[in-house]
Amino acid sequence: MLERVLNQVRDMSRRAVVSPVTFSLLFAFALAAAIVAVTGGDPLAAGGEMFTGAVTGSGLRNTLGRSVPIIGMALAVSIAFRSGIINLGGEGQMVIGGLAGTIVAIYVPGPGYVIVPLAMLAGAVVGAVWGLLPAYGQTWLRLPILITSLLLNYVARAITGYLVRFQLLDDAVTLTSTRQVPETARMPKMPIFGGVSLSLILVIVLVALLWMVYTRSVAGYESQMTGFNMRSARYGGIDVEQRTVQVMVVAGAIGGLIGTHLIIGEALRFIDGELVLAGFAWTGLLVSLLAVNRPIPIFITGMFFSALQIGGLAMQRNAGVSWRLSQVLQAVVIVAVACRLAIRRGERPSTEVSDAESAAVGEV
Amino acid sequence: MTFELELRGITKRYPGVLANDAVDLAVRPAEIHAIVGENGAGKTTLMSLLYGLFPPDEGEIFMRGERVEFSSALDAIAAGLGMVHQSFKLFPTLSVAENVVFRQEPRRRGLIDRAAGIARVSELADRYGLAVDPEAAVEDLPVGVLQRVEILKALYRDAQVLILDEPTAVLTPQERDQLFEVIRRLRDAGRTIIFITHKLGEVMAISDRVTVLRNGRAVADLVTAETDPAEITLHMTGRAVDLDRRAPEHQPGQAVLEVENLTVLGGHGRAVVKDASFQVRSGEIVGIAGVAGNGQSELIEALCGLAEAHNGAVTLSGTDITTADVAGRRAAGLAYIPEDRYGVGTTRQASVSENLLMGHHREETVQRRGWFDRGAVARLTGRLVEVFDIKAGSVSGPVSTLSGGNLQKVVVAREMEHGTPLLIAEQPTRGLDIGAIEFVHSQLIRYRDQGGAVLMVSAELSEILSLSTRILVMFEGSIVATLDPRAVDEPEIGLYMTGAHLEAAVA
């Protein structure tokens, strides 16, 4: 018994040390430092600015604020990935849901405690419908979700572009934009860290909920098993098509929630094309991949990426190093993790050596 | 004397499993050395260690008296080892010769000399009686020939020691005899052969010496001519095994499964199951015999809801399930041990416990309103592991670390636990060792004795004959015969399986 516990502890610490994430982070930061040094900067100063810029004062608020869409979109894509569905439509689901929520927030009168939830609900419903389209495309017409969900991003942008330009345009400003969300319909800020959006709580609740779903619910079990091995899931009596539809609805709904939050909690106007510029859906996708689609690692990784981005901006302001260096960092972490995963496959212990493994070991 | 190959004290541990425990192995030059053991005894691990796929935790390897250490398969190949795996590693679109010379192509003025490659492959093939056409594309060749290509690859790299891992698993009896002929020729030419198997008949037929592995330990090193199958079995299993158990007399009851005029279409709208009609009654085992690819798999898939029925009707315990989905059929009273236990029966990435739960996960006993009662889940999976004696390091560990026999126990345990009126068992003992086969057979018989109806598909005629109450023979999608196992023998079933009875009828 004691031996087993000791073995487990040893195994865990061994895994943490050789974890691809630890290695990749060290490698990425070393490379970034080298780039700063080679281009004539001071890596320590730049790193210091990045750190303090991300976790102190208004930087902390901004880090927490930016983590909401990153973590949210990562959660949305993770549930699809976990069921083996390649949903690349997060952006479209976010944009079209976001506009729906904005319309409710602007045009429906009422007190904030009614309108804000109503706007979020509208965003979630329309996002879910946008997720439903590729799901039915796959289950009814055998059109791969990978392709339809990606293409529907452009359709969503075109539809919202048309609506903003010709139906909802605010003539009072020079922007191609809707009116501003009235004060009463905005997502409240919490009186912590200098005013962080209430949506952060929503994201934390989502993380906890998804963790619960995947560790102890039938739905989570069926989704995960389908993602692992669809043939075996089907054989076990799981209705794979029904699960696909459900997963896409939930993923689209989360996307719509985040889109709505980005307008009624941050931008306050739906400016045509603005929502996709920050690339939250794609950052979220990378976060999800890095965190192997698990909710709690997604929360940590999402916070980290958010801090990198906010810290990068501070670094540019105060140390004169371009904020794009933080994008380089982000990219290097991902590439390094991918490489380490590939190498580790060859050395994973297994009593029965699989084809893939022995093939990876060398020509035989 | 100097051994061609010697392993001393080889030990390999995995979390919770001692795969090899101080194994000693001494192989003499120019001998055929069989390594036998049940699945999970450590044969594959031992050979992987020898071949440099991963390092041993303890122990040393000597070749011709010199200590060697391989950090990869390339090192092992360079030292004169050659391995023919169970699953072949060939490029399907390239020719035989191209596959054989791959990465060691003969060159002329810096360019690959195809003619020389073909010539050298033909010469090697002729010398050892390996009949292959060097210019044939690999994808067009039958399995038996692919194996010869793998052997040629090893010989081309001048392997002095050739390791064959379960080489006969994929062969027909004729191909097996040809392989044995090749192996003898190689030995007579001075090469050393290590032959891994769990079939005792092959050990007796081909080997000079035999090492028996059990639970990761080498328990016996015997001269084949001085031993017999009973002794080897005793070493392998630690107990005597009764292999030829005939099904006792048993009175079948009501019809559980009724299939009427079932037709299933395959690719290009071709009927792969034609107008099949039969019944399976409670308390009987109906065995479906047939050469693989004559519609058995498609028939079973259609019965289980994984393929669509084009025509006909399927009734299970009085319920029409012709168009039901998998969940509906399972609810109507069907459990299924699939042919492909790796790709369908289990999910490699999931844990033992998650695999045992599959199909039970919606039952009232383990979940309430969609949330698992984790205590109940643990009790269910723990009980199955105990009752079916599944050897796993931990139920929360990945199922991929289990041996083939234990993996099949996971599938059998899970499906039997449903306690449904009908159990469909497809190739239930393929690739299993004697101990596991005996276990699965006794479970099928227990199921029948408790009043269950069993529909079994098997490529092993001895299995069909010893277990079945009735035998159906499939040929080209049709059920061509219903036979009484007490009144037929293997050659007679064979006639129906190959369609020879049709020709006889015409003549």
Per-residue pLDDT of chain A (364 residues; tens, 9 = 90+): 567 677 777 776 666 666 667 777 788 888 888 888 888 888 888 888 889 888 888 889 999 999 999 999 999 999 999 999 999 999 999 999 999 999 999 999 889 899 999 999 999 999 999 999 999 999 999 899 999 999 999 999 999 999 999 888 888 888 888 888 888 889 988 888 888 899 999 999 999 999 999 999 999 999 999 999 999 999 999 999 999 999 999 999 999 999 999 999 988 999 888 888 888 998 999 899 888 899 999 999 999 999 999 998 888 888 888 888 888 888 888 787 777 665 544 444 333 333 333 333 332 2
- Domain annotation covers residue A291: yes
- Domain annotation covers residue B195: yes
Beta-carbon count within 10 A of B500 CB: 12
Contact B374 A216 (CB under 8 A): yes
- Domain annotation covers residue A11: no
B46 and B88 co-located in one domain: yes
Q: Which residues of A touch B371 (CB under 8 A)?
A: 216-218
Contact B89 A358 (CB under 8 A): yes
How far apart are the C-alpha atoms of A11 and A15, rounded to whole Å? 6
B114 and B18 co-located in one domain: yes
- Domain annotation covers residue A227: yes
Beta-carbon count within 10 A of A44 CB: 12
Token pair listed for A41: 């900067």
Range list of H helices, B136-283:
143-156, 173-188, 200-206, 229-237
Q: How many CB pairs under 8 A join A and B?
A: 116
B328 and B199 co-located in one domain: no
Range list of H helices, B79-198:
96-101, 114-128, 143-156, 173-188
pLDDT beyond 80 at B163: yes
Closest Cα of chain A to B159: distance in Å? Answer: 12
State the pLDDT at residue A20: 67
State the pLDDT at residue B504: 52
Q: What is the 3-state secondary structure (H, E, C) of B291-322?
A: CCCCCHHHHHHHHHCCCCCCEEEEEECCEECC
Name the band, by pLDDT with cuts 50, 70 and 90, for residue B26.
Answer: very high
State the pLDDT at residue A46: 86
Can you tell me which residue has the tokens 């950090």? Answer: B71
Contact A124, A97 (CB under 8 A): yes
Q: At what angle do helices B173-188 and B114-128 cross, to 10 degrees?
A: 90
State the pLDDT at residue B86: 76
- Domain annotation covers residue B394: no
B145 and B290 co-located in one domain: no
Can you tell me which residue has the tokens 């990562």? Answer: A74
- Domain annotation covers residue A35: no
Q: Which residues of B touch A218 (CB under 8 A)?
A: 361-362, 367, 370-372
B135 and B270 co-located in one domain: no
- Domain annotation covers residue A17: no
Which of these three, B237, B266, B298, is where a domain ends?
Answer: B237
* Helix, strand, or coil (residue A41): coil
Which of these three, B237, B263, B285, is where a domain ends?
Answer: B237
Which of these three, B204, B237, B270, is where a domain ends?
Answer: B237
State the pLDDT at residue A342: 55
- Domain annotation covers residue A6: no
pLDDT beyond 80 at B170: no
Contact A336, A28 (CB under 8 A): yes
Q: Residue B299: which residues within 8 A CB-CB, separation 6 or more? A: B262, B264, B273, B276, B288, B474
Q: Residue A292: which residues within 8 A CB-CB, separation 6 or more? A: none
Contact B358 A352 (CB under 8 A): no
B220 and B90 co-located in one domain: yes
B173 and B226 co-located in one domain: yes
pLDDT tens by residue, B207-230:
999 999 988 889 999 999 998 877
Which residue of A lies nearest to B342 if distances are taken between CA atoms? A232
Closest Cα of chain B to A266: distance in Å? Answer: 36
State the pLDDT at residue A113: 92
Closest Cα of chain B to A233: distance in Å? Answer: 8
pLDDT tens by residue, B247-292:
555 677 889 999 999 999 876 677 889 999 999 999 999 999 887 6
- Domain annotation covers residue B315: yes
B130 and B185 co-located in one domain: yes
- Domain annotation covers residue B390: no
pLDDT tens by residue, B420-451:
999 999 989 877 777 888 889 999 998 998 88
B71 and B175 co-located in one domain: yes
* Helix, strand, or coil (residue A57): helix
B179 and B304 co-located in one domain: no
- Domain annotation covers residue A9: no
Which residue of B lies nearest to A219 if distances are taken between CA atoms? B370
How far apart are the C-alpha atoms of B474 and B459, rounded to whole Å? 11
What is the extent of the structural domain holding B270? 255-343+419-506
- Domain annotation covers residue A39: no
What is the extent of the structural domain holding A61? 45-361
Number of domain units in chain B: 2
How far apart are the C-alpha atoms of B414 and B463, rounded to whole Å? 22
Number of domain units in chain A: 1
Contact A217 B346 (CB under 8 A): no
- Domain annotation covers residue B385: no
Which residue of A lies nearest to B151 if distances are taken between CA atoms? A364
Contact A351 B102 (CB under 8 A): no
Asked if A225 is an interface residue toward chain B (Cβ–Cβ < 8 A), one would say: yes
How far apart are the C-alpha atoms of B410 and B345, rounded to whole Å? 9
CATH number for the domain harbouring residue B35: 3.40.50.300
How far apart are the C-alpha atoms of A302 and A68, rounded to whole Å? 8
B289 and B216 co-located in one domain: no
pLDDT tens by residue, B180-190:
999 999 999 99
Token pair listed for B428: 């239930």
Average pLDDT, chain B: 87
- Domain annotation covers residue B245: no
Least-confidence region, from A11-20, B78-87, B356-365, B397-406: A11-20
**Closest residue to A235, CB basis, from B102, B338, B401:** B338
Closest Cα of chain B to A356: distance in Å? Answer: 10
Contact A358 B346 (CB under 8 A): no
pLDDT beyond 60 at B419: yes
> Which strand ranges, in their side-by-side order, compose the sheet holding B470-475?
B334-337, B422-426, B453-457, B285-289, B470-475, B478-483
Name the band, by pLDDT with cuts 50, 70 and 90, for residue B16.
Answer: low
B273 and B145 co-located in one domain: no
pLDDT tens by residue, B312-337:
999 999 899 998 989 899 989 999 99
How far apart are the C-alpha atoms of B238 and A29, rounded to whole Å? 58
Longest dimension (CA), chain A: 74
- Domain annotation covers residue B369: no
- Domain annotation covers residue B367: no
